[in-house]
Amino acid sequence: MKPEILLIEPMLFEIENRLDHDYVVHRWQGRGTTLEAALRIRGIATGGATGVPAELMSSLPNLEIIAINGIGTDAVDLVEAKNRKIGVTTTPGLLTEDVADMALGLILCTLRGLPEADRFVRDDQWGKVSLPLAHTVTGKRLGILGMGRVGRAIAHRAAAFGMDIAYTDVARFEDVPQRYVATLHDLAHESDVLVVAASGGPASRHLVNRTILDALGPHGILINVARGSVVDEQALIAALEEGRLGGAGLDVFADEPHVPSALRLLQNVVLQPHRASATVETRLKMGTLVADNLAAHFAGKPLLTPV
Ligand code: 8YV
């Protein structure tokens, strides 16, 4: 008898095929729907931002493993999982480079105004009206909030662009050559561009608030490739609307997939639909690890990448 699992977020065709071959796969239909197979579900495959809603987790008494297709664990109740002896796995290291690329892409898009200039050409404005000049990337001061794998990969790339890099984190890392700034406020004050690369969860909730945005200032740019929860979105919208912040490049939001219309209306904002790890190559590696972790669990072997 194949174990029964629940797929919360769609995965690559190849990965879903493998899961369908090895398990009876139920596809979650969203909050408020009933899952007939609830009592038989032993495993879950889900995304980092989606995780496992608390009411769903409590409706699955025989759940043994949650395999996250991502690195964020903030949307899974890890305490509850531990109490119920449910294994939790992530895909560490596999999406670092893609997420860092997205951060650099957003830096280039905001400073150089690439989406705006693209719209200008498509709207047939070239030669008719003038497009405001953009801003140089080289020499700009980049502040990184969160110097884990992703933060370091961003620093590595930004160095090649001649940016002047500093970071903040809970403590200074001996193995990180970039300048450490003890407070986020000082870092924002000393930065032209502030990139959020910190994990989500209660400890980082709304770390980037009105005071931090004001320290970044009217020419400052905020980039977020981490979690929407790290930024006070209402404070961000107000700062952008009132000209207290120069611009923003956002891949993540407070309540995905809902993006406030105020953000969608602003021209100095570049928006992405939580796509930093969404490449064929990376999603194939991530999905394979998700399937390998499930396979290890159901074969009674140690998990490959437990939390
Ligand atoms: C993915 C993420 O988009 O790694 C994470 O925690 O949020 C992203 O890489 C997500 O896991 C896929 O849904």
- What is the model's pLDDT at position 303? 98
Mean pLDDT rounded to a whole number for the chain: 97
Reply yes or no on whether 274 is catalytic. Answer: yes
- What is the model's pLDDT at position 34? 87
Residues 211 and 112 both lie in one domain: yes
Which of 15, 69, 282, when mutated, tests ligand 1's pocket best, judged by the most ligand atoms within 8 Å of its CB?
69
DSSP code of 255? B
Reply yes or no on whether 64 is catalytic. Answer: no
**CATH number for position 247:** 3.40.50.720
Distance CA 222, CA 253 (A): 13
Residue 155 within a domain: yes
Ligand 1 centroid to residue 45 C-alpha, Å: 12
Ligand 1 binding pocket includes 191 (Cβ within 6 Å): no
Closest ligand 1 atom to residue 73 Cα is 6
Percent of the chain residues past pLDDT 70, beyond the cut: 100
Distance CA 238, CA 213 (A): 10
Closest ligand 1 atom to residue 277 Cα is 9
Residues 74 and 129 both lie in one domain: no
Tokens of 132: 């405001």
Ligand 1 centroid to residue 276 C-alpha, Å: 8
Q: Are 237 and 265 in contact (CB under 8 A)?
A: no
Residues 25 and 51 both lie in one domain: yes
Whether the model clears a pTM of 0.80, i.e. scores above it, the answer is: yes
Tokens of 266: 């602003």
Residue 234 within a domain: yes
Nearest to 8 by CA among 29, 33, 39: 29
Torsions phi, psi for 114 (to 5 deg):
-60, -45
Ligand 1 binding pocket includes 272 (Cβ within 6 Å): no
Ligand 1 centroid to residue 49 C-alpha, Å: 6
Catalytic residue among 18, 227, 283, 297: 227
Catalytic residue among 152, 274, 283, 297: 274
- What is the model's pLDDT at position 33? 87
Residue 305 within a domain: no
Residues 238 and 161 both lie in one domain: yes
> How does pLDDT run across 32-49, given as a tens digit for each residue?
888 999 999 999 999 999
Residues 41 and 21 both lie in one domain: yes
Residue 307 within a domain: no
Ligand 1 centroid to residue 48 C-alpha, Å: 4
Closest ligand 1 atom to residue 70 Cα is 4
3-class secondary structure per residue, 90-119: CCCCCCHHHHHHHHHHHHHHHHHCHHHHHH
Distance CA 166, CA 138 (A): 15
> How does pLDDT run across 248-273, given as a tens digit for each residue?
999 999 999 999 999 999 999 999 99
Residue 304 within a domain: no
Residues 86 and 108 both lie in one domain: no
Distance CA 162, CA 71 (A): 29
The contacts of residue 109 (CB under 8 Å, 6+ apart) are 115, 249, 270
Q: What's the chain's Rg over C-alpha atoms?
A: 21
Ligand 1 binding pocket includes 9 (Cβ within 6 Å): yes
* Preceding omega of 53 cis (within 30 degrees of 0): no
Residue 262 within a domain: yes
- What is the model's pLDDT at position 234? 98
Q: Are 251 and 225 in contact (CB under 8 A)?
A: yes
Enclosing domain of residue 30: 4-90+280-299
Ligand 1 binding pocket includes 69 (Cβ within 6 Å): yes
For Cα atoms 219, 211, 73, give the angle at the middle one, nearest 5 degrees.
100
> How does pLDDT run across 190-246, given as a tens digit for each residue?
999 999 999 999 999 999 999 999 999 999 999 999 999 999 999 999 999 999 999
For the chain, the domain total comes to 2
> How does pLDDT run across 108-125, given as a tens digit for each residue?
999 999 999 999 999 999
Residues 157 and 238 both lie in one domain: yes
Residues 162 and 99 both lie in one domain: yes
Q: Which residue has the tokens 């987790």?
A: 57
Which of 12, 88, 95, when mutated, tests ligand 1's pocket best, judged by the most ligand atoms within 8 Å of its CB?
95
Residues 68 and 140 both lie in one domain: no
Distance CA 170, CA 188 (A): 15
Distance CA 269, CA 146 (A): 22
Residue 306 within a domain: no
Tokens of 195: 């990139």
Residues for the chain: how many in total?
A: 307
Residues 147 and 266 both lie in one domain: yes
Nearest to 177 by CA among 212, 144, 137, 224: 144
Ligand 1 centroid to residue 62 C-alpha, Å: 25
- Residues pairing with 89 in the sheet: 67, 306
Residues 190 and 44 both lie in one domain: no
Reply yes or no on whether 297 is catalytic. Answer: no
Q: Are 143 and 168 in contact (CB under 8 A)?
A: yes
Residues 47 and 139 both lie in one domain: no
